[in-house]
Homo-oligomer: A and B are copies of this chain.
Amino acid sequence: MLTKTSVDGSLRALRTLRLLVLVSLCVFISVSAASSPAQEEDSAMENIVTEKKAEESHRQDSADLLIFILLLTLTILTIWLFKHRRFRFLHETGLAMIYGLIVGVILRYAVQVPRDTSVVSACFVNSSPATMLLNVSGKFYEYTLRGEFSANDVKDNEMLRKVTFDPEVFFNILLPPIIFHAGYSLKRRHFFRNMGSILAYAFVGTVISCFVIGLLMYGCVTLMKHLGKMGGDFFFTDCLFFGAIVSATDPVTVLAIFHELQVDVDLYALLFGESVLNDAVAVVLSSSIVAYQPQGDNSHTFEAMALLKSLGMFLGVFSGSFSLGVATGIVTALISFLFTKLRDFQLLETALFFLMSWSTFLLAEACGFTGVVAVLFCGITQAHYTFNNLSPESQDRTKQLFELLNFLAENFIFSYMGLTLFTFQNHIFNPMFIVGAFLAVFVGRAANIYPLSLLLNLGRRNKIRSNFQHMMMFAGLRGAMTFALSIRDTATYARQMMFSTNLLVVFFTVWVCGGGTTQMLSCQRIRVGVDSDQENSVNGLERRSTKQESAWLFRIWYNFDHNYLKPILTHSGPPLTTTLPPCCGPLARFLTSPQAYENECQLKDDDSDLILTDGDISLTYGDITVSTDATGARTSGGLATDDLDRELAYGDHELVMRGTRLVLPVDDSEPPFTDHLRM
């Protein structure tokens, strides 16, 4: 088939181009379509028939949404071209931004629609309720509050406002799937091996960079004030807030390339782990910084109480969201553990899994915690426990479902970023601030990576080499999270300036840093195409040492998890009767799943951590969760080294396989037995 297509490749390329043109035409058509109903609105202005107006606005909304759908379609087709031609200089997200920019320009300059808003300045009310009833000649009309409205909007063009989504959409609808997917795919030997370092980068590092950036920006801002370059208030808390939201890294581009080129697994794990966790930290940090501002008076002086308050809030919200996410994850695991027969109805299973994960977010939001953070840890828990109870088919389904959602949400956000650069109403581009911000972001990242790496290297046996450090420094892209956090509130002057600046930071990092990844890799001489298994066998010495290194944190957790949690929450792991002290025998017998005994005698010895590697594999195994217990049986006393080895080895394999679909048409179907033998 390949030969065939290469024969008429040229013809196909022609068609392809024609099609791209076609789709982009559609975009423009729909752009104009989006504008036309709005014009009609003007004429319909007089009559009070609300149905007509509602219908108009519905058609309008459909047209607006259509623009984005077609944008995504266009992006997908082009991405495909790039992947097909192995272009690596531009990632799909970068592409989405470019298309977004183009449409933004069109909307901004090509389409001009007068707005339809009557200002009821007649009645001065002393409060702005969430819901309001307007008495129009005896009839009541219900209005819902949309938020405050900066005066300069009023004059502006309807079209632009129409394509502006409610900022909360990003945080409450588009971000959760992305974060959940990150958590769901964050389950890898190297993550655990480097757990300590990752946690250090994610928590300590993010806080450092937040404060470094904050201080630098404060200096920049004060300087601007002196030079009279500042058009409004900009307090220290705002600077810190800026530092917090811009500290959330999102190297999706880099990771995609790393994965494609099979870059050194440790580096991958460090970057991925950090980026996943520091999002959570940044979210909570920013919210607690906002909480710091004294409510009553606008005196932005230092206040011990307020500081303590927001410190407590940080800890409270973070631990709350964390435990909530883990809790729901465990509940799901329990359900899928008890309802074993659920496996016969994959649809129900998948639906249940999806709903439980979603409810985590809602529950957290309803309790006043941060849904995104909860979802992240829920995802990690799901991957670790629930996943093992799912039927192989549901494992595929869920993975594919969240993969798809993640893909769509991510590209939507990035294309919206491109669009909003032109369609957003209250941009404030302050050259000095922007330059300062870029500097601060750079320095902040440096202050995060280098000192921490230095400290960590004191503890680590396999040092984080300098070229790795440079690479991590370089890979500090900003993305969806920064955007979602900064678009959430653009009421004040300071926030508007931050938003505009953040957009530029994201564009720059995604295009320049993202695009230059391959070059950077080569000039830093970082090994690519690492076959992890071979790596194991070759420098086994390093492996031993690193195991010593990670032991103190990793082993404790592993033992507890493997001997107690897994048996209780999944059908894998050793029977509790062997792990628990004899005194609680009855309890153990009650809690242990019958399969645990059943499979104690099995010979096939692969840790269930393997399961997330790839659906195809777990399919080849059939019911894989069952087959861990030989391990369990042997390691019940403690942790057999070869057992750990084997798990780690599988972890590698997993890395090579993960998310293949996203990047390259690698053949997934190769069964893991091969490298089972290889070792």
With A5-B340, A116-B130, A352-B77 in contact, is A30–B366 under 8 Å at CB?
A: yes
Q: How far is the CA of A595 from the CA of B133 in the complex (A)?
A: 65
User: Which residue of B142, B147, B354 contacts A147 across the interface (Cβ within 8 Å)?
Assistant: B142
| Residue in chain B with minimal CB distance to A126 | B137
A661 to B347 CA separation, bound complex (whole angstroms): 6
Instruction: Say yes or no: A407-B141 contact (C-beta < 8 A), given A41-B130, A130-B41.
Output: no
Residue of B119, B397, B594 near A133 (CB, 8 A) is: B119
The CA of A341 and the CA of B355, in the complex, are separated in Å by 34
Nearest chain-B residue to A2 (Cβ)? B341
A4 CB contacts on chain B under 8 angstroms: 594-595, 598
Most buried by B among A341, A489, A595: A341
User: A134 at the A/B interface (Cβ < 8 Å)?
Assistant: yes
**What chain B residues lie within 8 Å of A356 (beta carbons)?**
73
Tell yes or no: A110 within 8 A of B by CB.
no
- With an 8 A cutoff between CB atoms, is A143 at the interface? yes
B127–A118 CB distance below 8 A: yes
Per-position binary interface string of chain A over residues 58-72, scored 1 when its CB falls under 8 Å from any chain B CB and 0 otherwise: 110011011001101
Known: A117-B132, A365-B62. A341 touches B80 (CB 8 A): yes
Answer whether residue A602 sits at the interface, using C-beta atoms and an 8 A cutoff. Answer: no
Nearest-Cβ distance from residue A159 to partner chain B, whole angstroms: 14
**Please, how many angstroms separate the alpha-carbon atoms of A151 and B141 in the complex?**
10
- When C-beta atoms are compared, the residue in chain B nearest to A118 turns out to be B129
In the bound complex, CA of A14 to CA of B150 (Å): 60
B59 & A368 in contact (Cβ 8 Å cutoff) = yes
User: Contacts A62-B366, A338-B15 known; A76 to B348 CB distance under 8 Å?
Assistant: yes
Enumerate A304-340 residues with CB–CB distance to B below 8 Å.
334-335, 338-340
A362-B69, A397-B400 given as contacts; is B149 within 8 A of A351 (CB)? no
Q: Let me know if A50 and B147 touch, CB within 8 A.
A: yes
B62 to A362, Cβ gap below 8 A?
A: yes
Q: Is the CB of B118 within 8 A of A594?
A: no
Counting CB contacts under 8 A, is A662 at the interface? yes
How many residues on the A side are at the interface (Cβ–Cβ under 8 A)?
121
Q: Does A350 contact B (CB under 8 A)?
A: yes
Our pick among B12, B79, B124, B340 for the contact of A136 (Cβ within 8 Å) is B124
Q: Provided the pairs A16-B339, A77-B352, A338-B19 are in contact, do residues A121 and B143 lie with their beta carbons within 8 angstroms?
A: no
Specify how many copies of this chain sit in the oligomer: 2
- Considering the chains assembled together, what is the distance between the CA atoms of A121 and B137 in angstroms? 10
A69 touches B358 (CB 8 A): yes
Q: Mark A32-64, 1 if CB is under 8 A from B, else 0.
A: 011001000100011010110110111100110
Q: Please give, as numbers and ranges, the residues of chain B lying within 8 Å of A137 by CB-CB distance.
A: 124, 126
A371 to B335, CA, bound (A): 38
| A594 and B84 within 8 A (CB) | no
* A428 sits at the interface (CB 8 A): no
- Give min CB distance, A25 to chain B, whole Å: 12
* Given contacts A124-B135, A128-B136, A54 and B362 within 8 Å (CB-CB): no
A34 to B15 CA separation, bound complex (whole angstroms): 55
Within 8 A of B (CB), among A342-379: 342, 344-348, 350-352, 354-356, 358-359, 361-363, 365-368, 371
Q: Is the CB–CB distance between B117 and A129 below 8 Å?
A: yes
* B355 adjacent to A73 (CB under 8 Å): yes
Tell me the dominant secondary structure on chain A's binding face: helix
Q: What residue of chain B has the Cβ atom nearest to residue A66's Cβ?
A: B362
Q: Which of B66, B134, B139, B351 contacts A132 (CB 8 A)?
A: B134
Residues from chain B with a CB closer than 8 A to the CB of A408 are: 351, 354-355
B136 x A34 contact (CB < 8 A): no
Interface string of A382-407 (1 = CB under 8 A from B): 00000000000000010011011001
* A530 CB within 8 Å of chain B: no
Q: Please tell me if the beta carbons of A131 and B145 are within 8 angstroms of each other in the complex.
A: no
Q: Is the CB of A401 within 8 A of B403?
A: no
* Contact A365 B58, beta carbon cutoff 8 Å: yes
| Complex Cα–Cα for A131 and B114 (A) | 13
Q: Which residues of B contact A141 (CB under 8 A)?
A: 128, 145-149
Do the beta carbons of A128 and B48 come within 8 Å of each other? yes
The answer to whether A154 has its CB under 8 Å from any CB of chain B is: yes
For the complex, give the distance between the alpha carbons of A83 and B126 in Å. 58
Q: Is A297 an interface residue when CB atoms closer than 8 A count as contact?
A: no
User: Would you call A145 and B143 a contact (CB within 8 A)?
Assistant: yes
A144 touches B147 (CB 8 A): no
Indicate if A303 sits at the interface (CB-CB under 8 A): no
Given the known inter-chain contacts A58-B168, A144-B143, A168-B58, please indicate yes or no for A355 contacting B76, CB distance below 8 A: yes
Q: Tell me whether A120 is interfacial, beta carbon within 8 Å.
A: yes
Query: How long is the Cα–Cα vector from A149 to B359 in the complex, in angstroms?
Result: 32
Contact B128 A8 (CB under 8 A): no
A1 at the B interface (CB under 8 A): yes
CB contacts (< 8 Å) of A117 on chain B: these are 129-133, 142
Q: A5 and B341 in contact (CB under 8 A), knowing A350-B404, A355-B69, A365-B59?
A: yes
Please give me the residue from chain B that is nearest to A623 by CB atom. Answer: B1
A352 touches B76 (CB 8 A): yes
With a CB–CB cut-off of 8 A, which chain B residues contact A130? 41, 53-54, 56-57, 116-117
Q: What are 28 A-B interface contacts by the 8 Å CB criterion? A: A5-B594, A33-B366, A33-B367, A37-B366, A48-B127, A50-B148, A54-B147, A56-B130, A59-B365, A62-B371, A72-B355, A73-B355, A76-B348, A76-B352, A79-B348, A83-B348, A118-B129, A118-B133, A119-B133, A120-B123, A120-B135, A121-B133, A125-B134, A132-B143, A142-B147, A143-B146, A355-B408, A397-B404
Kindly list 16 other residue pairs between chains A and B, CB separation below 8 angstroms, not including A56-B130, A118-B133, A141-B146.
A16-B338, A50-B147, A62-B363, A62-B365, A62-B366, A62-B371, A73-B352, A76-B352, A83-B345, A117-B129, A120-B123, A122-B125, A131-B146, A347-B662, A351-B407, A397-B400
Chain A residues near B (Cβ < 8 Å): 1, 4-5, 7-8, 12, 15-16, 19, 30, 33-34, 37, 41, 45-46, 48, 50-51, 53-54, 56-59, 62-63, 65-66, 69-70, 72-73, 76-77, 79-80, 83-84, 115-137, 139-151, 154, 168, 172, 334-335, 338-342, 344-348, 350-352, 354-356, 358-359, 361-363, 365-368, 371, 397, 400-401, 403-404, 407-408, 489, 594-595, 598, 623, 661-662, 665
The 8 closest A-B pairs by CB, nearest first: A123-B123, A143-B143, A62-B365, A344-B665, A63-B366, A140-B149, A121-B135, A66-B362
